[in-house]
């Protein structure tokens, strides 16, 4: 049984399982799927302030915090107990391209040459970690939700704004991955 869990699942199994979360949340608790709102709930719970944005009954949304905690716990369990000891497999063309940027180790899911504490204090690391993190957070707030909320929940409900947001997320991702990331990696 543990070997089945350790293996990557095909899209036709994992996709429907993720997709079934949406109706399960709606049917069982009349809840919407999304992760980005949990940061607002945490801030409303932990920061006693008079900011109108954080003045609401966050306790009604406490389920979302448990959901996010479960995601983090599942990730920790997967990394520590279910991790594949073999290096990450990278295609030869991608390996050649990454070697041009000085990335040659694939022991982890994220190359340590790019994301580590020391690189945070370099221009490349600052752009990728701090500026990239800020842009993701800003975009999530500006779009009124994250990719999972829009692409999974919003599209399931046939919401036009979610379709527009998902298209913009995808186009932005293609532009960054193909045009901007190579420039940053060559710094």
pLDDT tens, residue by residue, 62-104:
888 898 899 899 989 888 888 777 777 888 998 898 888 888 8
Place of tokens 């999974």: 152
Non-local (6+) Cβ contacts of 46 within 8 A are: none
* pLDDT reported for residue 26: 83
Q: State the Cα angle at 34 between 30 and 40, rounded to 5°.
A: 105
* pLDDT reported for residue 73: 95
Give me the residues of the chain with pLDDT under 50, please: none
* pLDDT reported for residue 180: 92
Query: How distant is the alpha carbon of residue 42 from its chain centre?
Result: 18
User: Where do the structural domains in the chain lie, given as residue ranges?
Assistant: 1-83, 114-187
* pLDDT reported for residue 55: 84
Place of tokens 């500006």: 142
CA distance 56 to 94: 48
Instruction: Please list, residue by residue across 51-85, b when 16 or more beta carbons sit within 10 angstroms of its beta carbon and e when fewer do.
Output: eeebeeebeebeebbebbeeeeeeeeeeeeeeeee
DSSP character at residue 34: -
* pLDDT reported for residue 168: 92
């Amino acid at each position: 049984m543990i070997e089945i869990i350790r293996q990557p699942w095909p899209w036709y199994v994992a996709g429907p399982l993720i997709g079934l979360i949406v109706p399960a949340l709606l049917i069982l608790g009349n809840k919407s799927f999304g992760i980005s709102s949990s940061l607002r709930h945490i801030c409303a719970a932990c920061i006693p302030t008079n900011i109108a944005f954080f003045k609401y009954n966050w306790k009604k949304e406490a389920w979302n915090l448990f959901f996010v905690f479960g995601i983090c716990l599942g990730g920790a369990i997967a990394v520590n107990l279910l991790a594949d000891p073999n290096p990450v497999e990278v295609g030869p063309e991608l390996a050649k391209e990454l070697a041009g940027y000085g990335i040659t180790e694939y022991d982890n899911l994220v190359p340590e040459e790019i994301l580590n504490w020391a690189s945070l204090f370099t221009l490349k690391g600052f752009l990728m970690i701090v500026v990239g993190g800020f842009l993701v957070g800003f975009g999530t707030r500006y779009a009124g939700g994250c990719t999972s909320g829009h692409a999974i929940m919003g599209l399931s409900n046939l919401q036009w704004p979610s379709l527009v947001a998902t298209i913009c997320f995808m186009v932005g991702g293609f532009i960054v991955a193909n045009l901007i990331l190579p420039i940053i990696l060559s710094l």
